Amino acid sequence: MKNVKNKKTLWMILTGLIIGAIAVLLVANGNPKNMGFCIACFIRDIAGGVGMHQAAIVQYIRPEIIGLVLGALIMSVAGKEFKAQGGSSPVTRFVLGFFVMVGALMFLGCPLRMVLRIAGGDLNAVVGLVGFVVGILAGIFCLNQGFSLRRTYEQSPLEGGMISAINVALLVLVVAAPPVIYFSTEGPGSMRAPLILALVAGLVVGALCQKTRLCMVGGIRDAVLFKDFYLLWGFIAIIVAALIGNLITGNFTLGFAGQPVAHTDGVWNALGMVLVGFASVLLGGCPLRQLILAGSGNSDSAVTVLGLFVGAAFCHNFKLAASAEGPTPNGKIAVIVGLVVVAVIAFVNIQKQKKNS
């Protein structure tokens, strides 16, 4: 058993190293700095790409996201692990996904980008990490009190595959490029690696994440709850690989000010990630993990991804998203509202234990 565990851990470290290296490769080929991957930013870009919001600098149907979902689909089908299931409080999950995006766009990145920002020397992301851990601890407290979104049920394969079909449709759209979709001509949305490279990168990372269960939230959750550091190794390996890659490519700058697609307001960087960490523990995984589970047939995760997508559109339509200039007043209100909503969801869903069950 110990050998199996060591082998598993080696696979996880290798996966983290590959993801970190691919992230650096994507930046070297056109993606914004410290944004080889960012699930929140890229889903936001997709929302803009199909015209759900009109922030002209962040509109592009990102092939990385499509690749992640389809990579997980292919790997789960190949490994006979595709399992269509769902029905565990889907609307609540939608709302939690919505507020994960509100928190992520306050910080300007999902947990994966937080890790990549740290590897680029962005100390604001270290502040974000502190908030992220606090949010995870809040979520763990609720889990220990009996929090549950109730069980999943088996569903039809069509239901399990629907989010993958949507991603295939998005791929057709971005390849065909009809005039109804949007492509940023300036700003982060205009900075993009070649389509085929981004798609393959997503496919590889999606497949690896399905196999290893890599999860940014799960790493810290399992380390705290069970002293199990398996997932955390992936987290650390991404930082190591991206750090080395950034040093080689000259993209490492240590400091707070002037970091790419980031702001220096520490309080709101931390609070944004408190919201992301808290809601993600209640959901059972970070945004990356939600994409992977969605591709593997979990329609609850698919609904969460739709929550992220709609949340992103609202963030730009309602001016909730922060920018390099810092957070907006509306964004601050939305993060506070999000923390209250998530706390209420957590409290209301604490189940009482039956005796002798």
Residue 147 has phi, psi (to 5 degrees) of -60, 135
Could you tell me which stretch among 101-109, 144-152, 184-192, 337-345 binds other proteins (CB under 8 A)?
144-152
Which among 268, 294, 141, 132 is positioned nearest to 206, based on CA atoms?
A: 294
Min dist CB 63 to other proteins, Å, is 24
Query: Is residue 151 involved in binding other proteins (CB under 8 A)?
Result: yes
Q: Which is nearer to other proteins, 77 or 123 (CB)?
A: 77
Kindly tell me which residue out of 86, 285, 327, 338 binds other proteins, with binding defined by CB under 8 A: 285
User: What residues between 97 and 126 interact with other proteins by CB under 8 A?
Assistant: none
Q: Which is nearer to other proteins, 118 or 215 (CB)?
A: 215
Site string for other proteins, 208-227 (x = CB under 8 A): --x-xx-x--x---x--xx-
Whether the Cβ atoms of residue 58 and residue 197 lie closer than 8 Å to each other: no
Query: Is residue 230 involved in binding other proteins (CB under 8 A)?
Result: yes
Kindly tell me which residue out of 77, 83, 195, 341 binds other proteins, with binding defined by CB under 8 A: 83
Size of the site for other proteins (CB under 8 A): 37
Q: Which is nearer to other proteins, 72 or 102 (CB)?
A: 72
Distance CA 232, CA 228 (A): 8
Q: Which is nearer to other proteins, 153 or 336 (CB)?
A: 153
Q: Which is nearer to other proteins, 124 or 280 (CB)?
A: 280
Report the half-sphere exposure of 131 (CA within 13 A, side-chain side). Answer: 27
Q: Which is nearer to other proteins, 210 or 328 (CB)?
A: 210
190-212 burial, b if ≥16 CB within 10 A, otherwise e? Answer: bbbbebebbbbbbbbbbbbbbbb
The set of residues, in sequence order, having a beta carbon less than 8 Å from that of 80 and lying 6+ positions away, is none
Distance CA 329, CA 23 (A): 32
Query: Is residue 264 involved in binding other proteins (CB under 8 A)?
Result: no
Q: Which is nearer to other proteins, 284 or 331 (CB)?
A: 284
DSSP-derived secondary structure letter, 86: E
Helices (H) and strands (E) in the chain, counts: 14, 2
Query: Is residue 229 involved in binding other proteins (CB under 8 A)?
Result: no
The set of residues, in sequence order, having a beta carbon less than 8 Å from that of 234 and lying 6+ positions away, is 12, 13, 15, 16, 19, 212, 214, 219
Query: Is residue 228 involved in binding other proteins (CB under 8 A)?
Result: yes
Query: Within a 10 A sphere around the Cβ of 317, how many other Cβ atoms?
Result: 14
Query: Is residue 144 involved in binding other proteins (CB under 8 A)?
Result: yes
Kindly tell me which residue out of 150, 185, 257, 336 binds other proteins, with binding defined by CB under 8 A: 150
Kindly tell me which residue out of 14, 28, 137, 152 binds other proteins, with binding defined by CB under 8 A: 152
Query: Is residue 71 involved in binding other proteins (CB under 8 A)?
Result: no
Q: Which two tokens stand for residue 254?
A: 């240590």
Strand extents, DSSP E, the chain: 85-86, 153-154
Kindly tell me which residue out of 18, 21, 143, 166 binds other proteins, with binding defined by CB under 8 A: 143
Distance CA 325, CA 54 (A): 19
Which spans of this chain sit near other proteins (rule: CB under 8 A)?
Answer: 8, 76, 79, 81, 83, 88, 143-144, 146-152, 210, 212-213, 215, 218, 222, 225-226, 228, 230-231, 284-285, 289, 293, 296, 298, 351, 353-354, 356-357
